[in-house]
Chains A and B, each alone.
Chain A
Amino acid sequence: MENALGISGPQAIMMAITASFTILGMVMLLAAMLMKARWKPSYAVEFVFVGIMLGLAWYGDLTSVKTYTAYQANLNAEERRISGNYDGLGEEAFDKVVTVIAFQWGFGFINEEEEISRNALMVKPGETVLLKIMSNDVIHGFNIPVAQITAEIDPDEKREMWIRAPDEPGQYLIQCVNYCGIGHAQMKAWLVVDAGEENNGENS
């Protein structure tokens, strides 16, 4: 089932039910106000109404748990592990360790040579990168759609996450997803997957 917003699945079903109930409620209110003869429903109708509401809540809860479980399973599935929380494996387990500073409004990426890069995270195809993310000021978000990672960066807290870089060289979006001030919409950076000279040599 796909609705006008292009959303399909349980979301669309819930939206359709909510919309129809809203419209129904408005029609009933108008009817109660404007109709000369008042409609007096029996108690049974009220029970049915409450029953439908409870059913909706149960259905919403069920689908959201299903979606969440599926997301977690996908995140932890061995063959598709592309990002996750750092689970204390030791920094040696990763190909690269990058310190990220999120500030108003941008990202600074500090590599292992203690060089800082503004709004560009440089990685090699397929390598695993440990990101130690810190906020300079307020709550920021850290989202890399291609790596399926979304994190909230709270002030005074070091957030450690890891990603596996895409195999395809190119530039991928990194963005802040928690409103952090007037410049939030411009708080974006590139995840740059660069094969480097060695691979270029192989290809040519």
Chain B
Amino acid sequence: MLKSFGIIGLVGTVVVGYLVTAGVGPLRQLPPEVSLLEGFREDGFIPENRNLPDDHSAEDVGVFQVPEQDEVVLEAALEEMGDMSGMDMSATGGEAMAEGMDMATAEGEEPMAEGMDMAAAEGEGAMAEGMNMSPSSGAEMGEGGLLITDGGEYDRVIELTMTEWGFSEMNIEVKVGERIKFVVVNDGEIPHEFMFMNGPLMAAANYRVTRADWSLLEHEALFEKALMLPGGDFDMVVEIQEAGSWMFMCMLPYHMQLGMMGQMSTPGMAMSM
């Protein structure tokens, strides 16, 4: 009797031991096999068009707000980058910033730190403006070293396909001054979104990326295309105006953490991710 209890206990221990170590199932979030929207589309429940235009009414009313804490985190991130003076690979953003500052001081403009404060004082949307510290010299300047337009001339085409969970190209090498046409296609089974961010902007929102109110708040980005349904696509032309590195990702909950984040960088500016 006692022996049988012992054997049961031993077998139980082995089984439990297996289940909590080698027997653990896939830790990845499995994506759905197929988007059910196709069936609903056939039934006429949802519009035929896969590229539905954005409803801007929520934006107009200011439903999604950037929390004030973001700006504090952003300033801390910029300060940290300044201290590292661009020697570290993770401070590539800082390098670009330092460069921008040199140029600015050379032309007798305000130093960067002051410019940042001013931008911060302007309140909403100031963060993205603060990113663009390069002096405007007649030509049209984009935010954070990228000029993004709907069309125009381009040097080459990059097709970016989104799936669960990743992009067809996770590392894109670009040169300063290059104009690239991006064709972004959602080839996955879930709606996705596409955005460009740089290091400081990423840091500004990253602290709350797993918080339960993530979807109820806004985050600043250099470019944002919200909600592409499965099968949807869009294109744009990006002009690389400064040396640096940028991240592109899908900011829907946990999509980025599951792998939907890639990098675009000029030579030598790539961050380790």
Residues of A within 8 A of B (CB): 99, 101, 103-106, 108-111, 113-120, 122, 132, 134-138, 155-156, 158, 171, 173, 181-183, 185-190, 192, 194
A186 in contact with B215 (CB, 8 Å):
yes
- Distance, CA A95 to CA B253, complexed state (A): 32
Asked if B123 lies at the interface with its beta carbon under 8 angstroms from chain A, I say no
Contact of B55 among A106, A115, A138, A185 (CB under 8 A): A115
**B interface SS class:** loop
- Distance, CA A119 to CA B58, complexed state (A): 9
| Total chain B interface residues with beta-carbon distance under 8 A | 43
- Distance, CA A118 to CA B217, complexed state (A): 12
A187 in contact with B253 (CB, 8 Å):
yes
Residues in chain B near residue A109, CB distance under 8 A:
55
Residues in chain B near residue A120, CB distance under 8 A:
55, 57-58, 63-64
10 A-B pairs with least C-beta separation: A183-B253, A120-B58, A137-B32, A186-B253, A115-B55, A117-B55, A183-B254, A116-B52, A105-B253, A118-B227
Residues in chain A near residue B63, CB distance under 8 A:
120, 171, 190, 192
Residues in chain A near residue B254, CB distance under 8 A:
105, 181-183, 186
Closest Cβ–Cβ distance, residue A202 to chain B (whole Å)? 18
Given contacts A137-B190, A156-B39, contact A119 B57 (CB under 8 A): no
A137 in contact with B35 (CB, 8 Å):
yes
Sampled A-B contacts (18; CB under 8 Å): A99-B46, A104-B190, A105-B254, A114-B47, A114-B52, A115-B52, A115-B55, A116-B53, A117-B57, A118-B227, A119-B64, A120-B57, A120-B63, A136-B191, A136-B230, A183-B29, A186-B211, A186-B214
B46 in contact with A106 (CB, 8 Å):
no
- Distance, CA A99 to CA B49, complexed state (A): 14
B227 in contact with A116 (CB, 8 Å):
yes
Residues of B within 8 A of A (CB): 29, 31-32, 35-37, 39-40, 43, 45-47, 49, 52-58, 61, 63-64, 189-191, 193, 210-216, 226-227, 229-230, 252-255, 258
- Beyond A111-B55, A186-B254, A188-B213, 10 extra complex contacts between A and B, CB < 8 Å: A101-B46, A105-B253, A106-B215, A134-B36, A134-B37, A134-B45, A136-B32, A137-B35, A138-B32, A158-B40
- Distance, CA A134 to CA B38, complexed state (A): 11
A137 in contact with B58 (CB, 8 Å):
no
Closest Cβ–Cβ distance, residue B24 to chain A (whole Å)? 15
Residues in chain A near residue B210, CB distance under 8 A:
186
B216 in contact with A99 (CB, 8 Å):
no
- Distance, CA A144 to CA B35, complexed state (A): 25
Given contacts A115-B55, A156-B36, A188-B216, contact A194 B191 (CB under 8 A): no
A105 in contact with B46 (CB, 8 Å):
no
B216 in contact with A136 (CB, 8 Å):
no
Residues in chain B near residue A171, CB distance under 8 A:
63
A134 in contact with B32 (CB, 8 Å):
no
A122 in contact with B57 (CB, 8 Å):
yes
Contact of B52 among A105, A110, A122, A155 (CB under 8 A): A110
Residues in chain A near residue B255, CB distance under 8 A:
183
- Distance, CA A181 to CA B164, complexed state (A): 14
Closest Cβ–Cβ distance, residue B217 to chain A (whole Å)? 10
Residues in chain A near residue B43, CB distance under 8 A:
158
Give the nearest-CB partner of B49 in chain A: A114
Residues in chain A near residue B45, CB distance under 8 A:
99, 132, 134, 158
- Distance, CA A189 to CA B212, complexed state (A): 11
Residues in chain A near residue B37, CB distance under 8 A:
101, 134, 136
B215 in contact with A188 (CB, 8 Å):
yes
B29 in contact with A186 (CB, 8 Å):
no
Closest Cβ–Cβ distance, residue B273 to chain A (whole Å)? 20
